[in-house]
Amino acid sequence: MDAMSSEEYASQSKLLQEFTNVPSIGSAWLFKTNNEDRSTAMFSISQPDLLANNKRKCILHSHIVTRATMPVECHWSPFPTEMTGVSVVVPSPSGSKLLVVRNGEKGSRTRLQILNQSHVQKEIHVDQSIHGPLYSDEWFQGISWNQEETFIAYIAEQTPQPKPAFDDIGYRRGGSSEEDCNSWRGQGDWEEDWGETYSRKGRPSLFVLDIASGEVRAARGITKSMSVGQVVWAPPSSRGRQNLLVFVGWLERNGFQSTARKLGIKYCSNRPCSLYAIHSPFEEEPNAEDTSVSGSKSSSASVATNLTPIISSAFFPRFSKDGKLLVFLSSKRAVDSGAHNATDSLHRINWPSDWKADQQLSATDVVPVVMCPQDGCFPGLYCSSMLSDPWLSDHRTMVLTSAWRSTEVILSIDVLSGEVTRITPEDSDHSWSALAISGNNVLSVSSSPIDPPQIRYGRRASTEDHGTHAWVWDEVTSPLTAASNKVKALLSGHKLSILRIPVPNPSVELSDGGQLPFEAIFVSCEDGSQKPTVLILHGGPHSASVSSYSKSSAFLASLGFNLLVVNYRGTLGYGEEALQSLPGKVGSQDVKDCLAALDHTIKEGLVDASKVAVVGISHGGFLTTHLIGQAPERFAAAAARNPVCNLSLMIGTTDIPDWCYAVACGAEARRLASESPPLDHLRILHQKSPIAHISKVKAPLLMLLGGADLRVPASNGLQVRASIAFDMYARALRERGVEIKTIMFPEDTHEIDIPRSDFESFLNMGVWFRKHLKQI
């Protein structure tokens, strides 16, 4: 490294540290007090710890005072409390107790602590022979207190099957399970996992803790070929007993042609799933041995009953506060079409007070899939999560966070009438996310690419002052605001706008929704028309870049770059027809959309066409490497994070081979899909790939790869043969004299989000772009 590059690394790393130091809000809870105008809020916040190479988790408390005509007041605890070694915390329904989960290292016990307001009331150590660590991810995680706060249901890793034991004589039949100096354990049968980020994790299984006795029991009656998650307690019956559990179940036959295979589930809502009900293991008959899964007509209390047998997808079950309604989301459009994400729908089941396993229940549509939204109107539901208690005080209105074109908004939904209302300001280009609800008050966070997260407190305004559905959102001053003041100063000269981009030369074969304008988020710096621009492309392709704060994007903006963040057709948040217009046309339609967005900003005089770089991750990396091949004169530099460079190679190594067929073949994907694709399929996949255009690439390219990525394995960019890493895509570029730099992060998965790796990857990106856009 020369002296100039060394100085650039030093100055940029100091700047990036300012952005890294700003804590982020993960979740929050609101608790009522004896005073009507007062409540207590608890926030879970995190911050990268680069020295320890993990995320530091803290809890921060606040007392909230609300008066009818006055802005909300918040009184904060003087310091946050660090939760060392804590995986997840879950308050009880009353707020008087707190479950603290400490997942130990692999092979060690899991610690479950029950805290009351003064001390640790109970601590339970769960041995590995019962279950492994609790799931704390956004998909399988399910931790649910019962109403009486005597039992807790949760999802944890099932203990693996015993490994075969051997000694100097041979196989030890019925011998001790413990190893000694004269024996050793084999590997046993390989058990498939759910792919990316779930490697080496045990099957997600359902357990219930009896707090008084400290006993943990596994749920009975769930087939071994099912993974479970998102468990909740059903309401008490008319006799006052709360003994039913409702959960989401994923059967493991979702491979090509319904073969037994677990395809990757991370970021993939197209995996078939259903809601099931089962009795608590502390309520069932002690001799129940049945471990099968029934349909809706089963009468056995010990067998899981499918509540949604005719719907291909059902998840995020939530019971209304009065126990009369069971509401859930569905991604049936994704399951039925093969797109890995699609427009969601919302459904409800009228829950009987004394439900029996042989009682059929029907689901009613609440919010259907929106195919082609009218201009400015509700574009459909796109929810990646749901609050554990999403209900307002009327028992019929729930609050959800959803993508709405290039923003994220908070919606209220009347689950009886189906009325959907946007309750966050319609004139705001910020993105909003609900954190917690108490009565008719919503605690939320709002942010933009140039405004760090700000806590907001929303309340329904009186009808005579503001109208029937008006909401007032107070800005809450918090210690987190002070932590981001320096970042705000660095971004103070930037401006945010959302651009509408007309579809270039729309084909008459396109659906109406596929012909509608798409959008791009534009962040301009001072004198932006003369400054370099970075084109930022999201992955998926069926995901979205919303107008929320991103540490990495804000860092790039602070270096003096304009940012053009393109939500090409196929992005979530624009209606189902626009989304479904992309499968089968990747590498062409999405590439044209990105170039159209760039052309639009050039035509409007917003950017300098000679100073443009491009960056993307996953499918965004696919587009990055496509763009520098198909439009080599347009880009001065590029960076790709775990890019899809060669679909014909990826299909044999990825955890989602169905994705390769879906994006390349569209409606024909299901018919053509095969675990052993013939040559004509491989030709199609290769033709759709960036590697087909590699001979035209000129732009210097920075490749950032995760060594443990199962989604787009590093072999996609680094072909592995005979234990020697051959840089496939990069080697071809070097042969043509193109400058390329590759950084491998051996322990990282697809996101490259281990703190040190994340820091180093964006630091190198900043230096790379400054170097090649002549900013050094």
Tokens 């000679």 identify what position? 610
Burial of 539 (0-12, 13-18, 19+ CB in 10 A): buried
According to DSSP, the residues that pair with 456 across neighbouring strands are: 444, 475
For residue 647, give every residue at least 6 positions away whose Cβ sits within 8 Å of its Cβ, in sequence order, or none: 660, 663, 664, 685, 686, 688, 689
Residue 78's CB is within 10 A of a number of other CB atoms, namely: 6
| Cα–Cα distance, 15 to 9 (Å, whole number) | 10
| Cα–Cα distance, 400 to 418 (Å, whole number) | 13
Strands (E), 510-646: 518-524, 533-537, 562-567, 612-617, 637-641
Using alpha carbons only, how large is the chain's radius of gyration in Å?
27
According to DSSP, the residues that pair with 365 across neighbouring strands are: 347
Residue 361's CB is within 10 A of a number of other CB atoms, namely: 17
Residue 67's CB is within 10 A of a number of other CB atoms, namely: 9
Burial of 169 (0-12, 13-18, 19+ CB in 10 A): exposed
Name the DSSP class of 219: P
The dihedral of CA 275, 281, 284, 287: what is its sign? positive
**Is the peptide bond preceding residue 541 cis, with omega within 30 degrees of 0?**
yes
Order of strands, sheet of 420-422, starting from the edge strand that comes earlier in the sequence: 397-404, 407-414, 420-422
| Cα–Cα distance, 361 to 348 (Å, whole number) | 10
Q: How would you label 500-522 residue by residue, b for 16+ Cβ within 10 Å and e otherwise? A: ebebeeeeeebeebbbbebbbbb
- Which amino acid appears at position 604 of this protein? E
| Cα–Cα distance, 723 to 704 (Å, whole number) | 21
- In degrees rounded to 5, what are phi and psi of residue 23? -70, 155
Q: 165 and 172 in contact (C-beta within 8 Å)?
A: yes
Could you tell me how far CA 763 lies from the centroid of its own chain?
A: 24
Q: 707 and 715 in contact (C-beta within 8 Å)?
A: no
- Tell me the two tokens of residue 42: 């608890």
Tokens 């008006």 identify what position? 470
Strands (E), 181-284: 183-185, 204-210, 215-218, 226-233, 244-251, 274-279
* Residue 709 is among the residues annotated as catalytic for this protein: yes
For residue 416, give every residue at least 6 positions away whose Cβ sits within 8 Å of its Cβ, in sequence order, or none: 396
* Residue 177 is among the residues annotated as catalytic for this protein: no
pTM: 0.93
Picking from 417, 435, 412, the residue whose alpha carbon sits closest to that of residue 60 is 435
Which residue among 709, 748, 757, 761 is the active-site one?
709
Angle between helices 619-630 and 589-603 (to 10 degrees): 70
Which residue among 750, 757, 758, 761 is the active-site one?
750
Angle between helices 755-772 and 3-20 (to 10 degrees): 130
pLDDT of residue 291: 40
Residue 94's CB is within 10 A of a number of other CB atoms, namely: 12
Name the DSSP class of 332: H
| Cα–Cα distance, 531 to 564 (Å, whole number) | 13
pLDDT of residue 299: 41
* Residue 618 is among the residues annotated as catalytic for this protein: yes
Q: Characterize the bridge pairing of strands 562-567 and 533-537.
A: parallel
| Cα–Cα distance, 170 to 11 (Å, whole number) | 62
- 620: three-class secondary structure by DSSP: helix
Which residue among 313, 448, 618, 757 is the active-site one?
618
- Which amino acid appears at position 648 of this protein? S
pLDDT of residue 175: 55
Helical (H) or strand (E) element with 701: strand 701-706
* DSSP letters spanning 706-729: ETT-SSS-GGGTSEEETTEEE-HH
- Tell me the two tokens of residue 425: 């300001």
* DSSP letters spanning 452-492: EEEEEEEEEPPHHHH-TT-EEEEE---HHHHHTHHHHHHTT
Q: 409 and 377 in contact (C-beta within 8 Å)?
A: no
Please, what are the averages of pLDDT over each run of 10 residues along the chain (776 residues)? 81 95 94 86 95 95 85 91 94 95 86 94 94 93 95 95 84 67 83 91 96 96 94 87 92 80 94 96 59 40 88 97 96 96 98 87 97 96 96 96 98 97 95 96 96 93 61 91 87 96 92 97 92 97 97 96 98 98 98 98 96 97 98 97 93 94 95 93 96 95 94 62 46 89 93 96 96 76
| Cα–Cα distance, 628 to 626 (Å, whole number) | 6
Burial of 26 (0-12, 13-18, 19+ CB in 10 A): middle
| Cα–Cα distance, 565 to 356 (Å, whole number) | 52
Tokens 């792919």 identify what position? 195
For residue 28, give every residue at least 6 positions away whose Cβ sits within 8 Å of its Cβ, in sequence order, or none: 41, 42, 43, 44, 435, 436, 443
Q: 53 and 755 in contact (C-beta within 8 Å)?
A: yes
Helical (H) or strand (E) element with 30: strand 24-32
Q: 630 and 696 in contact (C-beta within 8 Å)?
A: yes
Picking from 274, 345, 277, the residue whose alpha carbon sits closest to that of residue 315 is 274
pLDDT of residue 66: 85
CA distances from 732 to 625, 637, 725, 742, 743 (A): 13, 17, 14, 14, 17
pLDDT of residue 282: 94
CA distances from 586 to 264, 462, 628, 644 (A): 21, 50, 15, 12
Q: Characterize the bridge pairing of strands 165-167 and 315-319.
A: unpaired
| Cα–Cα distance, 81 to 57 (Å, whole number) | 8
